[in-house]
Structure 1
Amino acid sequence: MMARANQRRVYFIEKKFQTHFIIKFCLLVILGSLTTGILLCLLSGSSTTVTFQNLRATVMTTSDFLLPVLIQIIIISTAVVAIATMFLTLFISHRIAGPLYRFKREFSKIESGDLKGDFRIRKNDQLQDIALSIDNMVKRLKDVIVELKNQSQLLINSKDKFLDSKILEDQKIYAEETKKIIENIKKALDYFKI
């Protein structure tokens, strides 16, 4: 229990996906900051501003004059970045949620004994390597089950021949065949670690 608490956790599980995900969010933040900075530079500079308030000319610093405008710009920039972020995360999460939904559906079929499905997912979805691994696993399970069914049928046939045989020599031959078939079944079952 204690050793497990001290183990280092792996944070980058899907490095390529997570890196792209982080970079896209960082680019959005940079875009928002750049937008604010550029607009501030364009609008203020290092000057004073003359304004008319209540029919009086007032001289004030540009920053004092721009503060209300700057707040509006920041609100608009934040809203634009927030909307862009919502769409980006929606599309990216869809590329993950879609395959996970498909996996759950296929796992339910496998649980009920149906190995006919496949784990192909859309080309641009994440989890392609996991889908390929699961597909290979299911194909291997199919191969082992087909082999077990074939060996089982051979065992039944050998048993029937043994029981139908009246000659002791034939019974020895069928007993040897049965032994080989049982060894093949054991070999197929030994593939699985339980």
Structure 2
Amino acid sequence: MRSYRRRIVYIHREYQRSFILKSCLVALAAMVIAGVLLYFLSRETITATYQFHHLALRTTAEAILRPLLITNAVVLVCFLFATIFMTIYVSHKVGGPLWHFGKSLKSIGEGDLQVQIRLRENDQLKEFADQINEMTQSLNGKAREVQDQVARLRAKIQAPGCEGPELGNDVERLYETVFQVFKTQ
């Protein structure tokens, strides 16, 4: 099997950007809620702090505000990078196959029944790709059967001494085959 190398980082730009933004907003909201809750719950306690060579008494909320903001900022930046990595690189395991499915299904819809979906080794949705490939092979076999019957009918029509009743029977068999093979409305 041919090795596929990732060349495009963004597959579905809008989806990936939206996912990154939503994930970071959820993380930011959680940190703000936790920080505000911690701040308000610690307003009524007093803490001894040592700052600039002086021992001072102040509320715990005042003492933890700056470290709390710095910690939340660092966690948010780390979460942002982790989310970007996850969204861009890990989503290729799903986004890449979906892109291949769309491209292949468009070709199949245009009548190319020789299309085979080939995915990278670690991509997700391999079972789905196999099912689409089996469906395409089945359609290809059925279309081939119809083509073979049409070719035989054509040869009979072009042959000298072609008789009407025999030709009518062949046309009727072809008609039945088409309706058995392809279920349409």
Give the TM interval when normalised to the shorter protein. Answer: 0.5 to 0.7
What letter corresponds to residue 184 of structure 2 in structure 1? K
Among 154, 161, 171, which residue is 1:182 paired with?
171
Aligned-residue offset at 1:193: 0.4
CA–CA separation in structure 1 for the residues paired with 2:119 and 2:173? 36
Name the Cα RMSD after superposition. Answer: 3.4
Q: Are 1:164 and 2:170 an aligned pair? A: no
In the aligned structure 2, how far is the partner of 1:92 from the partner of 1:179? 59
How many angstroms does 1:81 deviate by? 1.3
2:176 partner amino acid: K
1:48 corresponds to: 47
Contact 2:48 2:55 in 1 (8 A): no
Structure 1 residues 77-111: Cα deviation after superposition (integer angstroms, max 9, x where no partner)? 11111211121122343223212221233234335
SS of 1:164's partner is coil
Any stretches of 5+ residues in structure 1 without a counterpart?
1-24, 166-170
For normalisation by structure 1, the TM-score amounts to: 0.59
Structure 1 equivalent of residue 126 of structure 2: 128
Give, in whole Å, the separation in 1 of the partners of 2:49 and 2:174.
94
- 1:9-24 to 2 correspondence within 5 Å? none
Residues 116, 133 of structure 2: 8 Å contact kept: yes
Conserved in 1, the CA contact under 8 Å of 2:49 and 2:63? no
Q: How far apart are residue 63 of structure 1 and its match?
A: 4.0
Higher mean C-alpha deviation, range 89-98 or range 69-78: 89-98
Higher-Rg structure is 1
The runs of 5 or more residues in structure 2 that have no matched partner are: 1-22
Alignment counterpart, residue 81 of structure 2, candidates 80, 83, 87: 83
Aligned match of 2:17: none
Q: How many residues align?
A: 149
1:135-185 Cα deviation digits (max 9, x unpaired): 232112211211111111211232244x336xxxxx48xx43x34432332
Matched residue SS, 2:91: helix
Shift in Å, 1:123: 4.1
TM-score by length of 2: 0.62
Q: Which of 1 and 2 has higher RCO (CA within 8 Å, sep 6+)?
A: 2
Change in CA separation of 1:52 and 1:90 when aligned onto 2, cut-off 3 Å = closer
Match of 1:117 among 92, 112, 115: 115
Q: Give yes or no for contact 1:144–1:188 (8 Å, CA) kept in 2.
A: no
The one-letter code sitting in structure 2 at the alignment partner of 1:183 is E
CA distance 1:78–1:52, change in 2 (3 Å): closer
d(CA) in 1 for partners of 2:152, 2:49: 101
The one-letter code sitting in structure 2 at the alignment partner of 1:128 is K
The one-letter code sitting in structure 2 at the alignment partner of 1:182 is V
Q: Distance in 2 between matches of 1:123 and 1:52?
A: 57
